[in-house]
Every structure is written in C-alpha cells, then in structure tokens.
A = this chain, B = another copy of it.
Amino acid sequence: MGGIVITPEPPYYAVIFVSQRTEGDKGYGIMADKMVELASQQKGFLGVESARDEGLGITVSYWDSLEAIKDWKENSAHRVAQDRGKTEWYKNFSLRVCKVERDKFFEM
C-alpha cells in the first residue's frame, strides 16, 4: 500500500472517489483499510492510490474492466460500507468512472 500503482498498458479503468468527511473517526479508518483489502482480492483489481488532507480525500482505484467495477460495487460487504458512508462518514462525495486512455510514469 501507499505508492504509485504501476498499471498495465492502457486502456484500463479508473474510479475516482473524492470525499469530504464528517467529524470524528466513527469506525471509518478500520473500514477503509478493510475495503482496500477486500477490493484487492476482487477479480480485475489493478491497484489503489489514496491521499487525504484537511480539505479532501481522493482515492483512485484501477480495474481491468467495467464488469470488475460493477462486481466490486455490488460486493455485499462493500454495500454495507457504502451505506455507512452515506449515513455516517461523508458530508459529500463524487464518484467518477473513467477509461484510462494513456499514461506516463516518471522516476528520478
């Protein structure tokens, strides 16, 4: 966890999830870790990148197909987390499903 994800040749898919949290943890940290662990076991998962500061949290997950994204969306443990996200953890969020058309990596 934690670094830049090295993905295969495009095209592949990205889900950009941007959120603003409510106050307090309320079990969020544990659930977030658990969701990354679960997503990683999902077929078609390519990796995830995450950053959060006072203003926003941005999580980008990468997938090999739209079907893999759909399967993850419908995963039952993930559905429970989605519901708690709406009622407890997030003030607001956006979710964008994208097709990555090209990419570039740079390392010093």
Contacts and interface: CB of A to CB of B under 8 A. Distances in A.
Contacts of A53: 51-53
- By secondary structure, the A interface counts as strand
B18 A16 contact: no
A4 B92 contact: yes
Nearest to A96: B103
Contacts of A10: 96
15 contacts: A3-B55, A4-B93, A5-B18, A10-B96, A18-B60, A49-B56, A51-B52, A51-B53, A51-B58, A90-B108, A94-B105, A95-B103, A96-B100, A97-B101, A97-B103
Number of copies: 2
Contacts of A55: 2-3, 50-51
A17 to B, nearest CB: 10
Contact of A16 (B14, B94, B105): B14
